[in-house]
């Protein structure tokens, strides 16, 4: 898509299904060439059914990893991601789960360990957001649900995964540019992403002696099903045009950041970092 083009003004019901999108994201890593950087590693990618999560699954497989794909309800999308992993000769499983609960998070880790033989990389990527016109519009129910999905689950999944992780393992959280600078129409979402960033800093410090690295990718606007499922049509149409590059990223452009943090070969000296691919925005600090 050129800088001048707009996205179609499409909308879907939550959680959003990529197979139904009018403008399909680029998230299969078709031109990516792996070099074995994750050979023999076992990864759980939550929200791996579409968008950035799907691209991460595909990239990990191309680098030699087996992948567990956790998702909420998008069966067709999750099966597509599974096939992308299997096409690379790697093992893939799908885990349908609502990760708002501690029990579901425990079960997701257990299935990953049982079926893949262990877990070396955890990618906490799933999330939810709701656009509001005013602060007063946010209900306690919405606030609680956003934090349960975007923060509590990251804590639960990490805690249960750590029971099975050895030296050299990696945890990668998904933050957001909105957690860096805030967002007047995504207030609770931005607050959760700020929490994810500081959780990353704190976990990295707590786990450094175990030689387990914890990092975060905090993207700017990315064209995924979450956008068409949570934003009004007029915002979908102009989505991403506010950044200096004047466009949203494609998931394929973000996934290599996760490969970087997952690979000890590439990022052995990185822990407690927030990497922000944001289309040319600069931020102080």
Average pLDDT, the chain: 90
Task: Write phi, then psi, for 213 (nearest 5 degrees).
Answer: -95, 145
CA distance 198 to 110: 27
Per-residue pLDDT at 19 exceeds 60: no
Q: Which pLDDT score, from 0 to 100, does residue 89 have?
A: 98
Residues 6+ apart with CB under 8 A from 221: 177, 227, 239, 240, 242, 243, 248, 249, 279
Per-residue pLDDT at 57 exceeds 50: yes
Contact 197, 245 (CB under 8 A): no
pLDDT average, residue stretch 45-59: 96
Q: Which pLDDT score, from 0 to 100, does residue 62 have?
A: 98
pLDDT average, residue stretch 105-133: 97
Backbone dihedral region for residue 182 (phi beyond 0: left; psi -120 to 50: alpha; all else: beta): left
Tens digit of each residue's pLDDT (9 = 90 or more) over 225-282: 666 666 566 665 556 678 888 888 889 999 999 999 999 999 999 999 999 998 988 8
Per-residue pLDDT at 168 exceeds 60: yes
Q: Which pLDDT score, from 0 to 100, does residue 23 have?
A: 63
The region of weakest confidence among 20-34, 146-160, 174-188 is: 20-34
SS3 content of the chain, % helix, strand, coil (to 5): 45, 10, 45
Q: Which pLDDT score, from 0 to 100, does residue 5 have?
A: 47
Q: What pLDDT band is residue 283 in, cutting at 50, 70 and 90?
A: confident
Catalytic residue among 154, 189, 269, 270: 189
Contact 236, 228 (CB under 8 A): yes
Domain range annotation of the chain? 35-275
pLDDT average, residue stretch 35-63: 97
Q: What pLDDT band is residue 122 in, cutting at 50, 70 and 90?
A: very high
98 or 230, which is more confident: 98
Tens digit of each residue's pLDDT (9 = 90 or more) over 2-14: 444 455 544 445 4
222 or 199, which is more confident: 199
Per-residue pLDDT at 78 exceeds 50: yes
Per-residue pLDDT at 150 exceeds 80: yes
CA distance 196 to 135: 21
- Establish whether the linkage from the previous residue to 15 is cis, with ω within 30° of 0: yes
Tokens 């909308």 correspond to 11
Q: Which pLDDT score, from 0 to 100, does residue 243 have?
A: 84
Considering only CA atoms, which of 54, 93, 53, 95 is closest in space to residue 73?
95
This prediction's pTM: 0.89
Q: Is 89 exposed, middle or buried (0-12, 13-18, 19+ CB in 10 A)?
A: exposed
32 is catalytic: no
Q: In CATH, what is the architecture of 35-275?
A: 3-Layer(aba) Sandwich (3.40)
pLDDT average, residue stretch 13-41: 78
CA distance 96 to 108: 9
Tens digit of each residue's pLDDT (9 = 90 or more) over 123-136: 999 999 999 999 99
* Cα dihedral 40, 42, 48, 53 sign: negative
């Amino acid at each position: 898509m050129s800088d001048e083009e707009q996205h179609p003004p499409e909308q879907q019901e939550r959680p959003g299904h990529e197979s139904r999108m009018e403008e399909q994201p680029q998230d299969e890593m078709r031109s990516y060439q792996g070099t074995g950087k994750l050979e023999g590693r076992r990864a759980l990618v939550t929200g791996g059914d579409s968008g950035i999560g799907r691209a991460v699954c595909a990239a990990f497989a191309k680098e030699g990893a087996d992948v567990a794909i956790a998702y909420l309800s998008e069966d067709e999308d999750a099966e597509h991601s599974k096939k992308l992993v299997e096409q690379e000769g790697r093992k893939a499983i799908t885990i349908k789960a609502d990760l708002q609960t501690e029990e579901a998070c425990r079960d997701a880790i257990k299935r990953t360990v049982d079926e893949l033989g262990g877990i070396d990389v955890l990618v906490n990527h799933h999330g939810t957001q709701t656009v509001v016109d005013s602060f007063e519009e946010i209900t306690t129910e919405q606030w609680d649900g956003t934090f349960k999905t975007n923060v509590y689950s990251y804590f639960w999944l990490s805690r249960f995964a750590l029971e099975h992780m050895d030296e050299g393992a990696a945890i990668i959280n998904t933050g957001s540019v909105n957690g860096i600078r805030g967002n007047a129409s995504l207030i609770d979402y931005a607050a959760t992403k700020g929490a994810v960033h500081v959780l990353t800093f704190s976990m990295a410090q707590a786990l450094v002696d175990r030689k387990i690295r914890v990092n975060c990718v905090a993207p700017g606007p990315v064209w995924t099903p979450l956008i068409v499922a949570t934003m009004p049509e007029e915002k979908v149409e102009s989505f991403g045009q506010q950044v200096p590059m004047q466009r949203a990223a494609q998931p394929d452009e973000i996934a290599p950041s996760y490969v970087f943090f997952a690979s000890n070969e590439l990022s052995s000296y990185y822990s407690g970092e927030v990497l922000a691919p944001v289309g040319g925005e600069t931020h102080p600090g």
